[in-house]
Every structure is written in C-alpha cells, then in structure tokens.
C-alpha cells in the first residue's frame, strides 16, 4: 500500500468530493431521513463517523490508478469510480441484513439501527444512485465507450447478486464442490474488482487487448482478495 500512497492521496479527495456531491442529490432531500441513513452508512455522519468508518475505497482507487497507468486522464474516470464505490456499499447494506451482521466498520449496521425494511430500502436507493453516478460518463466518453461501460456495470450487478445467491445457498452445506466455490467468489468478490480494472483501462483509452489483460488481472486479484 505504501507504494501507492502518493497516488491514492491524490485521487481520494476528488473521489470523496464527488461522492458527497452525488449523495446530496436534490430528490433525496424530499424524503426526510433517507439521505442521512445513506450518509451514515458511508461513514460521514453519526456516532463514530470518520476515516475508520468510511473504509479504504480500494476498488474505486484501483480503477483510477489503472486509468492513470494506461496514460489516460484519471479525472475523467471519477464518475465510474464513484459508481463502483456506491455499488459496493449497496451490496454491503444488503449483505449485512442477509448475514445478520450487527456491526460494520465498528458501528451498528443500517439494519441494526433502523430495521430491516428501511435498510433494504436504503440499499435500493444506493443501487439507483450508483447508476446516476455512472451516467455522468456520457459527458466524457464517446457513445460506444459509454454504452460498453454501462454494459459492464449491469453484468457486474448480476454477477454480484449471483455470487451472493450461492453464498446464502451454501450456508447449510457441510461440503460444496470446489468449482462451485470458485463460481461463488468470482461473483461475490472478484466481479466488481475485475470491472474496476476493466473500466479503468477502458476509460483511460487503452486498446481492447490491454483492457482484456487488466480485466484478467482484476479477476485474479479479486479471487486472491477473497
């Protein structure tokens, strides 16, 4: 991590500012308490808020680093970085409900504090906002690259939920075939990291062969991470 600290210290303030802006969307202000719930989960508000509660943001920072590494303007990739961070946090809100986890980053989870129904709804809102963030790419990408980014993102959502489906389905099993385990973690964890790497290369302007290589790298990194 130390080798990447100069890059991450450059990227993170811009990422944080964009996330704050996106979660300050005017529509959210019409629904009393919902924005505060989302901001609490992000670690920005409430008791125990701060750096420890916000997580490391490794996925969006990886995306920005790769966009930079292939010679692109990493700032153009900020909407995608924000989108993957919001998608990741959507999955965390729902995972905590499904896993009955009372704590997340040292604080009560959204469902433990506001109840399951509100937490499900908050997760759904975070999911929608992730796509709103991704939509900002249309201002910086050509139509074909924008469409490809959207397609990758949608496919990743399906793989995330598929991996979680298997994780829940296997909870009561004493043994599972190894190939099913690889499929589970490839969806649950590696899919989003793979997409971060792929999107970084795509938005950074890399050729398709390079994009494919980074996608393979992201998949391998995600499997190792799990």
Q: What is the pLDDT of residues 74-88, one digit of tens each?
A: 999 999 999 999 999
What pTM did the predictor assign? Answer: 0.96
Q: Which two tokens stand for residue 110?
A: 């959204």
Contact 108, 55 (CB under 8 A): no
Cα dist from 127 to 78, 94, 97, 183, whole Å:
17, 10, 15, 23
Between 52-56, 83-87, 116-120, 127-131, the lowest mean confidence (pLDDT) is in: 52-56
The pLDDT mean for the chain works out to 96
Q: Is 51 exposed, middle or buried, given 0-12, 13-18 or 19+ CB atoms closer than 10 A?
A: exposed
Tens digit of each residue's pLDDT (9 = 90 or more) over 136-154: 999 999 999 999 999 999 9
Contact 78, 64 (CB under 8 A): yes
Q: Mean of the pLDDT values across residues 33-42?
A: 97
């Amino acid at each position: 991590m130390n080798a990447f600290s100069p890059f991450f210290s450059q990227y993170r303030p811009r990422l944080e500012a964009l996330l704050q802006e996106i979660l300050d969307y005017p529509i959210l202000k019409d629904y009393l308490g919902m924005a505060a719930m989302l901001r609490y989960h992000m670690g920005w508000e409430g008791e125990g808020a701060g750096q420890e509660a916000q997580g490391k943001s490794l996925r969006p920072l990886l995306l920005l680093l790769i966009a930079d590494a292939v010679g692109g303007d990493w700032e153009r990739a900020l909407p995608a970085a924000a989108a993957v961070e919001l998608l990741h946090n959507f999955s965390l809100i729902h995972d905590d409900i499904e896993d009955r986890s009372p704590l997340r980053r040292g604080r009560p989870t959204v469902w433990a504090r506001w109840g399951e129904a509100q937490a499900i709804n908050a997760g759904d809102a975070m999911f929608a906002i992730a796509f709103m963030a991704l939509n900002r790419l249309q201002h910086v990408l050509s139509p074909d690259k924008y469409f490809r980014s959207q397609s990758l993102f949608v496919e990743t959502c399906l793989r995330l939920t598929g991996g979680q489906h298997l994780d829940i389905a296997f909870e009561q099993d004493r043994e599972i075939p190894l190939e099913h385990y690889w499929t589970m973690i490839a969806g649950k964890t590696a899919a989003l990291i793979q997409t971060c790497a792929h999107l970084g290369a795509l938005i950074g302007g890399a050729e398709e062969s390079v994009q494919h290589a980074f996608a393979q790298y992201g998949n391998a990194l995600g499997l190792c991470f799990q």
